[in-house]
Structures are given as C-alpha cells and as structure tokens.
Structure 1
Amino acid sequence: MPPEPSPASSPSPASGRRGLSRHLVDLAPLRASPAFARLWIGGAISGIGAFMTQVAVGLQVYEITESTFMVGLVGGIALLPMIIAGLWGGVIADVFDRRRVLIVASLTAWASTVALAALSFHDQHLHADGTHAAVWHFFVVTTLSAVASTVSNATRGSVVGRILPADMISRATALNGISFGVMLTVGPALAGVLAAGVGLPWTFTVDAVLFSAGFLGIWMLPSLPRLGERVEAGWPVLKEGLAFLRRSPNIRMSFVVDIIAMTFGRPYVLFPALGATLVGGGALTVGALAAAGAVGTMLTSLFSGPVARVHRHGVAISRAIQVFGVFAALFGLTTLVATAVEHEPAEGWGGVHWPTLAVLALCMAGMGAADEVSAIFRQTMIIQAAPDEMRGRLQGVFVVVVTGGPRLGDMYAGALAAAVALWFPPLLGGVLVIALIAILTRAQRAWREYDAQAPTP
C-alpha cells in the first residue's frame, strides 16, 4: 500500500484559493479609488442601455428598410463625424477640466436617446396605418449620439490615469473589460427581449432611464483640470498630438492592428438578416448572438489575474487578434454550412435552428474573449507609454479606432453580404485578419520587443 501523503505535500484549501485568486480579476483598483469605483459601476449600468440602443437601432432600420446594407449605413454615415469628434474631443479633454467635458458630452448623448425614443414611437404610430417614418431621421440622431459618445469615451479613458496609480492601470483595464462584458451581455439580450415583448420605442426609453446611473458617477468625480501650463484649444494642440503619434510606433501599431480586426472580422451587422432569413428567432437571435460575444469578453476579464504578469504586450495583442480572426472565419464557415440546411425560420424561439445558433454563439464568444485580451493590453500600453498631457488626444484617436473600425466593418460586411452572401464577409475577413497581423508583426521589430516594464510609445 502506498504511503499516505504527508500534510506538507498535500495541497491545502488555502493554497488552492490562493492559486485561484491569481487567475481571477484583481479588485484592488476599486478599493484604491472610490472615484474610479463610482465611474466603473455607473458606466456599466448606463452602458447596458447604450448597447440596448445600438441593437435597437439596427432592428429599427431593418424593420423600416428590410436591408442589411442600410443597417450597415447606420455606422457608415456616422464615421466621419466620429473621426472629427474623436480628434477634437481629445484636444478638449487635454485642455479643459475633464469632469466638465464628460458632463456636457453625456447630457448630449442622453438627449439623442430621448430623440430616438420619440422617433420610434412616431414610427410605431405610422406603422399602424401601413407606413414607416423616414429612415434618415434615425441616421441623423444616431450620428449625434455617436459624436457625443466619442467625446465622452475619449475623456473617460484619459481620466483613469489621473485617479489611479500607474501600477494598477492594467488591472483597471481588465475591470473595464468586465463592465464592458456586462454591457455587451445584458444590453443586447435585454434589447432582444424588450423589442420582441414591448416594442422598440420602450427599448429606447429604458436606455434613457438607465443613463442616470452613469451620470451620477461622472457628477461625483473630482475636478480634473489640465496639468502644466494653460493652452488654448485649437489646431496647434491637435497638431502636437498628431506629431507625438507619428513618433510613437508602438501606440500607432496598436491602432492599426485593431482597425484590421474590426474592419474585416466583425459580423454584427449580419445579425438581423441571420435572425430573419437563416437561423430564425428574429430579434431574440440578434440579442443572443451579441450577448454571446459579451460572455467571452466578460469571462476573459473575470479570469484576467495573469495580465499583470504579462510584459510583452505587442506579441500578446498580435496573437489575440489572430485568434479573433480564426473565430471570425469559423463564423463565416458555419453560416455557409447553414445555407444548406433545410429550415423554415420564424420569429420567436420556436423558429430557431438551434445547432446553427449554438455554433455561431460559440464563435462570437471566442471573438469576444480574444478581442478583450487585445483591448486590455492596447489600453494599458496607451496609458503607460504616454504622458498625461497627451492622453486625451491619444484616447481620442483610440476611441475613433475602436468605434470607427466597427463602422467600417459594418459597411464592409453589409456591402459584401448584399453582393455575395451572408457567409462571405466573415469567412474572407477572418483569413485576412490572420494574414495581415502575421505580416505586420514580423515587419515591426519594436512591436515584437515592446516591454511593459520599460514602456516606450
């Protein structure tokens, strides 16, 4: 009989808990900064409403036009205004009190949500008579919302470095991934349920109500004026930020690789058509697929303990985006296979082809997880490698990339889906993402050698 293991050689429950805690997300930033905690909690709650509205707008436009291309135009039309808002919003965040900038931008975004609710109620009234509201009204209001959100997000990103110590930035970024995952999980799923149950107008209305939680976190921030000498907002400040970006190959590369991933690997604009014509389930399927991506994001953030021990951020970002491309290609391949399956799609869960939905949801979860790994290290790189007086402008460019890239992706996917088939954009895009990231990583030595222990922009 083999001897029983001695207590010294047996793993104790305490050591098991310590091992698990090394892999779980670190909550220290919430304890270290009450201001960050309030901003984080409020942002998560209001963000649920924002993602509800994002899904609801797509459903509303598809209901009016029955066109995937028109759904893609929702983001495409807002792209140029968002680029301008990101660049100048970053300038504003670096010149004025960041708390005041957040308040004005957030109130503007809330007013646009109220306007969307009013437009949707108007469309519901017209639909009872067999007509619809003009779709361009939704394009205009959605663009206003996108502009305000871009300024708000650029400013919010530049605030974190002021209210937390430098050694907690990566952990705070991982926590932001959890809140983002909650938004992406609950928001789209709730949008699908509300749209199917009480209608799109009330879905927009719920977003307007949830706004109050996020605004409270912003209102309670301390004053955050510019550090250093006073400057006037204008072209010289913007030019200074762009010149810094030209001298910062690692930060610039972090933007380029994300644009590639979001442009070619993002299938969200296809969801309404998949729910209506291939998978079935309508709005419920749209919410389920979007929520599946968020589950991957949230689980990655929940088990993000090891991120503080990873220092080769450039390599980590490249590998994560290539995994993202693999799942995007699998999404397209699954959609191609589903076209050969005999199925009569219909609204509601009874009209869903469950095997197809399950595989597509798994692909979305994988994409969400890989994208979150990339996002944690990209955001940490920007905050650690850039001085505070540049963070607003760089965050402005970052927000343009992370919000503008998906809009390019919506246009790419919408146009190719209309020209070829629903399966073609993600299958081709996934292959392009894998190949382009491999080429760029091999070509950029500084990116491969980036070390967070000695961050260089």
Structure 2
Amino acid sequence: MKVLADVTPLRTSPAFRNLWLGGAISAVGGQFNSFAAMYAVWHLTGSSLMVGLLGLASGIPMVAIALAGSMFIDSVDRAALARRATIGMLCCSLLMAWAVLEHWVTVLILFTAVAAALSSLAGPARRALTPTVVGSKELAAAYALTSLAFQLSMLIGPGLAALVATRFSLPVCFLLDAASFLAALAGLRGLHRPPEAATADRGVGAAVAGFRFAATQPVVRGALLCDLAATLLAMPFALFPALNHDNFDGTAQTLAWLTTAVAVGGVTGSVCSGVITHRAHPGLVMVVCSMSWGVALIVAGASHLLVVTLAMLAIAGAADTWAVTSRTTLVQSATPDRFRGRLSALEQLVGIGGPNLGNFRAGAVGNVIGAGPAMSLGGVTCVAAVAGIIATGRQLRGYQLPASAADNVSAGT
C-alpha cells in the first residue's frame, strides 16, 4: 500500500507545477495575514467575540460573492478571473497594514471582508483549473498536493508570523502577504482556461442549475453537508486566543503553537496522503475523518495540559486534511466540466465560508461558556451531525471513483 504523497502531477504537468508553487507561496502569506489580523483584533479589544467577528466578516461576503460568481464562472476565462481577484487581494493586504498602524479595528475587519469576497472568486477559479492541467488518474494526487501546500503554510506560517510580529511589527506581516500574491500571479501566467465544455449559461439561471445539480446528486450533497457539519459546528480557531489566555501562558508564541499543532497534523496527513488517494471510496474516508476531527476537539477542549491539547489538535489537523482531500476529489470527479466552476464556487462557500461562520459561532459560544467547553461542545455536535448524515446517505459511503480515465476530466496542458 502506498503511503507517501504522489508527486506525479508535479513531474508531468509544468502548468500544474507553476500553479501549485504560486499557490503554495501565497498560502504562507495568507497565514501571515490570518495570524496578524486575529492577534491585532485580540490585542486591541481583548474580546473573543470580536475575534469571531473576523470570521463573520469573511463568511458573509464569501457566501454572497460565491453565489454571484456561480452566475458566470463557467462562461469566462477562469485563469483571467483568478488573476484579477488576486490583484485585488494584494491591494487589500496593503490596506490592512495601514489599518493596523492606525489601530483601526473596524477598517481592518472591513478589508478582511473585501479580501474574503475576492478569494471567493479566485479560489473556485483556481480549483476548477486543476482538472484541465492534469489527467484524471492524477486528480486525487493533485488535490492532495494542494492540501499539502496549504498544510505546510499552516505549519510554518503562524510561527514565522509570530516571529515577524515580535521582531518587527504586525503591519509587516500584511506586507509580506501582499508580496506573496506576486508568486500567485506568476503561477497563473500563461494560463487561459475557459471551461472545456464551453457554456453560455449566465445569470441566476446558471447559479440555480449549479445548486440543483448539487442538491439532486446524493454523493455531492452528502459530501458538502458532511463538511459543513465539521466546520460550521466545530471550527475552533477563534477560541485559541482565549484558550491560550485561560489555560496557558497567553503569549503570542503559545498561540502560534496551538495553530501550528493543527498544521503539524495536517502536514503529516498530507505527506501520508497516499493512504487515501489510492482508495476507491473517498466518501467513506471523508466520513471517518470528519468524525475523528470531532472526537479530537472534544478531548482538546476538555484538557488543561498543553501537551495533550497540542496532540489532539494535531490529530484533528490530520483528520481534517484527509477529509478535505476526499471531499474535493469526490465532488470534482462526480461533476461534469460544464458545472465544475459552479460546484467549485459552492465548495468555496462550504469549505471556507463554513469555517469562517463556524469561527464566529465558536467565538460567540466561547464568550458565554468559556473557550474549552465551547470547543468540546463543537466536537460533540459535529460527531452527532455526521452520524445523522451517514445514517441517511448510503450512497456517500459507497461512492466509488471511476476506474478509468474516461470520466469527463480533461488532461490538457
């Protein structure tokens, strides 16, 4: 049985290699931005609710723009759309640095919202490009490598951001994020990828058709609902500052360790992604990993020992990585190219909007009952919700990936 990550897409597809490298560098910059925004809001307000508001500020525009993007994303050049949105996010990072210099929390949250809106266009566009630059047999490996890049960014990003914030200042973190978007733009250079199955669908009708496809395909519907159960109900990151303050020493370095622990597990899961990318039933893998995520958070929230909390967060990170890789592989393989942009937008809504709204929920609950109990409660509700989904969705558990390359995925370079 293969265990280590399959790097074949990086060797065989120069277009994917460039896209992956640019995204990997930008992902590190994104961690600088997330850490600096969270730490700045906590430092300036001392409120878990305000930290959670960052998630709400990201979630609302992300939902709105993802819905708007689904009206046209399958009828435009996805690479050009990604480039324009990336330029906009670069500008937002510069403006966020200025807001922190002036101690303007409201302005910082505002530009967090604008950047989230732009990412809800860039993310689906980039994700829908992947099946057009790798072969269908390499699709799961390509998404696993994308997950590895993100997890590596979570591993090294918060620690480096804490170092930069301590040695220099929080605005420098935002400036480094802005610089990282240049790498993302370089990775998109030369790509001009309209949908392989060109469609003239635009407007509300196109968005409705995409949602109808997701709602009427039990496998896709179940995968997205399972992801929402894990994120909307149990996302813990907004609780980290208060958990650090209540249970540990409250320093920026310990806060970085909490986030980094999730990344350590995620990187380990990504490096060992061969365990899941060669399995024919991604739905079953996703279900098991989603429930494991919830159980780990139950224990992490109940523990007052840093080493136990870090260990449980690492397990949660590994489970989340495998669940996300399985979800993306399942959704993309079960979706025709003419719908792939819209389904990628819906994945963006669920995969990023869900965690941001989940962080707001966590911050609000933590403000009432405390960070540790709120984290454990989230884990309990996650496990219960996933159990309910699989009890009524046998097709999700039994879905099998196509055995051959003839599955509507283009291998164009």
TM-score category, normalised to shorter length: over 0.9
* CA deviation vs aligned residue, 1:289-326 (integer Å, no higher than 9, x gap): 11111111111111122323311222111111111111
Cα distance, 1:230 vs structure 2: 4.7
Q: Please identify the structure whose Cα radius of gyration is greater.
A: 1
Q: Which residue of structure 2 aligns with residue 432 of structure 1? A: 381
Where structure 1 has 5 or more consecutive residues not aligned to the other structure, the ranges are: 1-18, 124-132, 339-355
Code of the residue aligned with 1:156 in structure 2: it is R
1:215 to 2:185 alignment = yes
| SS of alignment partner, residue 361 of structure 2 | helix
The alpha carbon displacement at 1:409 in A equals: 1.5
Q: How far apart in 1 are the matches of 2:392 and 2:213? A: 22
- The alpha carbon displacement at 1:233 in A equals 2.8
CA contact (8 A) 2:156 2:260 kept: yes
Match of 2:151 in 1: 181
Partner residue, 1:312: 281
Alignment correspondent of 2:96: 116
1:92 aligned onto 2:61: no
Return the alpha-carbon distance in structure 2 between the equivalents of residues 23 and 95 of structure 1: 39
User: SS of the residue aligned with 2:72?
Assistant: helix
Q: Could you say which residue in structure 2 is the equivalent of 1:299?
A: 268
Given residue 221 of structure 2, which amino acid in structure 1 is its aligned partner?
R
CA contact (8 A) 2:243 2:372 kept: no
Matched-pair contact (CA < 8 Å) for 2:198–2:338: no
Which segments of structure 1 move beyond 6 Å, counting only runs of 4 or more?
none
Matches within 5 A, 1:266-415: 266-334=235-303, 338=304, 356-415=305-364
- TM-score, normalised with respect to structure 2: 0.94
1:235 maps to: 204
CA contact (8 A) 1:153 1:399 kept: yes
Q: Give the aligned residue type for 1:158.
A: A
* Matched residue SS, 1:266: coil
User: Which moved further from structure 2: 97-106 or 442-451?
Assistant: 442-451
Q: In 1, are the aligned partners of 2:87 and 2:181 still within 8 Å (CA)?
A: no
Q: Does 1:170 align with 2:178?
A: no
Q: Gaps (5+ residues) in structure 2? A: 409-413
Which whole-Å CA distance do the structure 2 matches of 1:163 and 1:89 have between them? 22
1:110–1:208 Cα contact (<8 Å) kept: yes
Q: Residues 99-118 of structure 1, C-alpha deviation per residue, up to 9 Å, x if partnerless?
A: 11011010011110010011
Q: Is contact 2:296-2:313 (8 Å) kept? A: yes
Q: Distance in 1 between matches of 2:353 and 2:163?
A: 28
Please say if 1:226 is aligned against 2:178.
no
Instruction: Answer yes or no: is the 8 Å Cα contact 1:154–1:399 preserved in 2.
Output: yes
1:363 CA drift (Å): 1.3
Contact 2:6 2:141 in 1 (8 A): yes
Paired residues of 1:188 and 1:290 also in contact (CA < 8 A): yes
**In the alignment, is residue 51 of structure 1 matched against residue 43 of structure 2?**
no
Question: Distance in 2 between the 1:150 and 1:229 partners?
Answer: 22
State the Cα distance separating 1:80 from its structure 2 match: 2.1
C-alpha deviation, 1:357, in angstroms? 2.5
Farther-moved stretch of structure 1 (27-36 vs 269-278): 269-278
Whole-angstrom CA distance in 1 between matches of 2:68 and 2:218: 22
CA distance in 2, matches of 1:230, 1:408: 32
Q: Is the Cα contact below 8 Å between 2:241 and 2:250 reproduced in 1?
A: no
Measured in 1, the distance between the counterparts of 2:93 and 2:76 equals 26
Q: C-alpha separation between the residues in 2 aligned to 1:57 and 1:428? A: 26
Q: CA deviation at 1:89?
A: 2.3
Deviation of 1:277 after TM superposition, in Å, equals: 3.8
Tell me the amino acid that sits aligned with residue 88 of structure 1: A
SS class of match (1:172):
helix
Q: Which moved more, 1:230-239 or 1:74-83?
A: 230-239
Asked if the contact 1:86/1:400 (under 8 Å) is kept, the reply is yes
Aligned equivalents of 1:448, 1:274: Cα separation in 2: 35
**Cross-structure match for 1:68:** 48
Residues 56-96 of structure 1: CA deviation (Å, up to 9, x unaligned): 11111111211000110111133221112112224433110
Q: Which residue of 1 aligns with 2:118?
A: 148
Q: Which amino acid aligns with 1:119?
A: A
- Asked if 1:201 is matched to 2:156, the reply is no
- The Cα shift of 1:372 comes to 0.8
Residues in 2 aligned to 1:236 and 1:435: alpha-carbon distance in whole angstroms? 35
Identity across matched positions, percent: 30
CA distance in 1, matches of 2:371, 2:197: 52
Shift of 1:412: 1.7
Residue equivalent to 1:349: none
